[in-house]
Amino acid sequence: MRALTAQWVANAVGGELAADVDTRVTGVDKDSRLITPGALYVAIVGERVDGHDYAPHAFEAGATLALVSQPVAGPHVLVDDVVVALGSLARAYLALLRTEGDIRVVGITGSNGKTTTKDLVAQVLPDAIAPQGSFNNEIGLPLTVLRAESSTQFLILEMGASAPGDLAYLTAIAPLDIAVVLTVGTAHLGGYGSPEALAEEKATLLDGLVPGGVAILNGDDARVAAMASRPCLSQEGRRVVEFGVGGEGRTVRASRVEIDAGRPRFAVETATETVPASTMSLVGEHHATNVLAAITVALECGSTPADAVEAVAAAMPLSPHRMALFERVDGVRILDDSYNASPESMRAALRALKDVAQGGRSFAVVGEMLEMGDASLPAHDEVGLDAVRLRIDHLVVVGTGARAAYVSAVREGSWGDEAAFVATIDEASQFLKERLSPGDTVLVKASHGTGLWKLADELVGETA
């Protein structure tokens, strides 16, 4: 972050600067434990803790200013709403950076694949800033923006949405030079009521494009492809670029898709050339969508097709618990995709498990998919059916919220210990300890809020 004066911060957020404050800030954080000297401490009132209580710790760690909604002992800017003020600060800061350099902003949304695609793009573009993990909401996105420097060339932002208006708010903070829409699935469907309403929310990302901006759309998803006709895209020099697996008329497409030890392998065709088939580092055929999106972004940012494919093929997911494959010293493989889950990503993960197992026994340990609303019961029912139809050797369903997956698997024909239900993570751990042997592959998949990622961490343990 470039240095800002306390007065500049106060002006940007419309706040009241404490008297006789003459200091500069060179960083921003909301966690007092992560404060570095010269930082602005953002005191957020959460469900469990009040950030104002930790202001003394932040100042002790070297914070030179605090953004607060109630006075604290130390230099501060007082505002009505700290989260709203944080967004205002990020908006003003990005506008400042645009006047000082050639920073380009890439925004990525979709029901699935946002974080992985963000990680890929961040590894391909030079001098890029991207969020760590899934900083994709009204707090995480501004904090990411504020990490940029005057020299930053690319700002890669993951943009999530759980309720109508979320994306409009985020793009108001960070207007986009490139907007990427990956998929419209059923993740967070409970906040929208229908796939059509969710698609409309995802499409609002495109309204956040600056004049001359580029919309990069997944042509394999009918709801995403339909966004090409959005009125904003025919105005002020904006363009649409489409990618996909096969299909005519797409600017970037994959051909001859194969699976190599669970990893997608395909050639990439562009308007100017065809790049021979490459095997990707990512596990799972579904990652072809994320790879193509990242390649398309790289091309729009000046890369050649060959360089873009080579760089993306070598890139790995940087964020934890996202289709990460580990091999333990005892010969058991762990496929950790436990950060989040939706019906689409659950189905893709089960297929990836089957591909990776390659003749060894397959164990799918699945938990609840949260925020599904009325679609929850049939969605979990489908998980059990998919596991049986894909001939997963063992399905372990964890937690009451996911029990429908176990019931449907039994109904479909999985008896004995082919399908098991356990109430807790500890029970799931014990179940696996009693059964795993060299050559087995275990998938762990659930929404983050279930805590099943803790089991994944335990299972990974000592890896080779």
pLDDT tens-digit readout, 126-140: 899 998 767 899 999
pLDDT tens figures, 45-64: 988 899 999 999 999 999 99
* Res 187: pLDDT: 60
pLDDT tens figures, 293-347: 999 999 999 999 999 999 999 998 788 898 999 999 999 999 999 988 999 999 9
Cα 291 from Cα 331, distance rounded (Å): 29
Percentage of the chain surpassing pLDDT 70? Answer: 97
pLDDT tens figures, 408-445: 999 988 767 799 999 999 999 999 999 999 999 999 99
* Res 190: pLDDT: 61
350 exposure class (CB count in 10 Å sphere: 0-12, 13-18, 19+): buried
Across the range 197-223, mean pLDDT stands at 95
pLDDT, mean over the chain: 93
pLDDT tens figures, 355-370: 999 889 999 999 999 9
* Res 317: pLDDT: 76
Confidence of residue 189 (pLDDT cuts 50, 70, 90): low
Confidence of residue 162 (pLDDT cuts 50, 70, 90): confident
Confidence of residue 463 (pLDDT cuts 50, 70, 90): low
Would the pTM of this model clear 0.75, i.e. be above it?
yes
Cα 236 from Cα 277, distance rounded (Å): 37
Confidence of residue 192 (pLDDT cuts 50, 70, 90): low
Contact 67, 143 (CB under 8 A): no
* Res 385: pLDDT: 96
List domains and CATH numbers for the chain. 4-80 (3.40.1390.10), 101-314 (3.40.1190.10), 324-460 (3.90.190.20)
Listed residue (58, 84, 83) closest to 72, CA to CA: 58
Q: Which residue has the higher pLDDT, 93 or 189?
A: 93
* Res 464: pLDDT: 45
Rounded to a whole number of angstroms, the CA Rg of the chain reads 23
